[in-house]
Amino acid sequence: MTTGVLTTSFPRHAGDFAGCFVEDAVRVSAAAGEVVDVIAAGVWRPYRLDGPRGRNTHQDLTGNSSKHPPDDWPDDRPDLAPAIRVVRIRTPAAPGVPPLFFSAGAPEALENGGVGIWLQAGLFWAALCERVRERAPTWDRIVAHWLVPSALVARAVAPRLPLTAYAHSGDVALLERIPGGAALGRRLARETDDLVFVSANLRDRFNQLTGMVAGRVAHVTAARSQPDEAPRRPNARHRRDARTALGVSRRTLLSVGRLVPIKGFDILLRAVATAAAQRGVAARDFMAVVILGEGPERLRLEDLARRMDVDLRLPGFVGRHEVARWMLAADLYVQPSRRLPTGRTEGLPVATLEALQAGLPVIASDSGGLSELGGHGVRIVPAENVSALCALVAEFDQQTVSRHSHATSVSPGLTPPGV
C-alpha cells in the first residue's frame, strides 16, 4: 500500500521538533509495510540568478546556498526509512515578508495579513495541487494534516481516494473567521472518510460551527521512534547527567513552544515574578525559567524578564533529543497558553504530553485541548489568570523546599522528580 501524506509541517532534519507528530505517524506506517509519500512545505527563499555561469542559486533561511531546482526538491533525510519519500514545496518569501509556514507559523502570519503572505498562500496551494495531481495515481489513500490547505487539496484533486484528515487548532479557528467557513466545514465533513480532531474542544467547536455531528477525537501521541532518545521515565542518574550536561544547578521551570502570543509565555513570567515576591525573594533567585523555541516574541519576553528580574533563558530552537534532555533536567513543566482574540486556542501540544511521559509535574491552562488533561497528572489553571498560575508555582516551590527538608509530603500532581 502507498499512502500520500499532505502536511504543511514536517521535521526538516533529524530531531526537528516542528511537525514531529506527523513524522511519528509516518514512521509507524512505514514500519507496518506501507510506502509513504510525504509532500510538505519547504523553507527556501526565492532563487537568484547569481550562480556560476548564470545557474540558479538558492538561499535558505540560514544563508546557505544550493543548486536545487526552483520548485520542489527531495529531502535529504538519511535517518528516514527508504519507504518514506519526502518532497518539499518551495514557499517563496519576498524580502521583509516572513515564510508562511515557519518563523511565527502560518496562523499568526495569516492573521497579520498582508499581500505578500496571502500571495505565498496562493502559490503554495497551486504547487500542492500540482504535486498531488502528479503523484495521486500511485496512491491508495491520503492522510492530510491540517484541513486547510491539505484536506481541501486532497478532495479537490483526488476525490476518489480514501481520505483521513486531521484537524488542528488553526484549522477550526480559520473556518470560524472566514466568510463561508461553515459551508466549507460541512463540505469537508461530508467528503472526508475519517475526520479526526486532536482534541474534543476542537471537535465541539467544529460541530457547533457546521451544525453537524462529525468526526472523532484522537489525541496526538508523543510516541517516538528515535533510536537515541532519552529515557521516558527519569531516574536519579539520568537526571544528574542531564543537569550536568545542560549546566542546570538550581530549580528550573521549563516550557516549550514558538515564541508567539498564543503560548502565553508573558503570563508565565508574570506568575513567576509574583510568586517570588510573595515568598519575599528576588525573582532572579527564585527559579530559572527555560523556554525552548523561537519566534517574534523573543525581544518582548527578554525585556519583560529584565523588568521583572526573572532569570529567563531562551536557547532557541533545539533538537528533539535536546528537548528530552531538558525535560529530564527540569523540575516543573508549565504550558500557559491563552485564547487569542480571533478565537484560536491550543490543540494539544505534543511537548506537554512528552513532559508527562518524562515524569515531570505539569501545570497547564484550560485553553483548548489542554483542559482535557485534567485528571491525568496535570494541574489545570484558568487561562490568562496570573494569580492562579502564581499560586500553583508557589505551591510547587513550597513542596520542593518541604521535601528537601523532609518536613512534609507533597500532594498529587505536583510531585517533583527525584534528584
Q: Each residue of 47-69: pLDDT tens digit?
A: 332 333 333 333 333 333 344 44
Q: Looking at per-residue confidence, does 18 or 140 come out higher? A: 140
Q: Calculate Rg over the CA atoms of the chain.
A: 22
Distance of CA 245 to the CA centre of its chain: 25
Count the neighbouring beta carbons within 10 Å of the beta carbon of residue 24: 18
Q: What is the pLDDT of residues 323-334, one digit of tens each?
A: 999 999 999 999
DSSP state of 149: I
Please, how many CA atoms are within 13 Å of residue 220, restricted to the half-sphere of its CB? Answer: 29
What CA–CA distance (Å, rounded) separates 219 from 233? 21
pLDDT at 107: 63
CB 314 within 8 A of CB 259: yes
pLDDT at 100: 64
pLDDT at 53: 33
Count the neighbouring beta carbons within 10 Å of the beta carbon of residue 183: 11
C-alpha cell at 316: 532557541
Listed residue (368, 353, 360, 364) closest to 388, CA to CA? 364
pLDDT at 17: 78
Query: Lowest mean pLDDT: which of 98-102, 181-185, 299-303?
Result: 98-102
Average pLDDT over residues 304-329: 93
For the chain, the structural domain boundaries read 2-161, 236-405
Average pLDDT over residues 132-148: 95
Superfamily of domain 236-405: Glycogen Phosphorylase B; (3.40.50.2000)
What CA–CA distance (Å, rounded) separates 71 from 82? 23
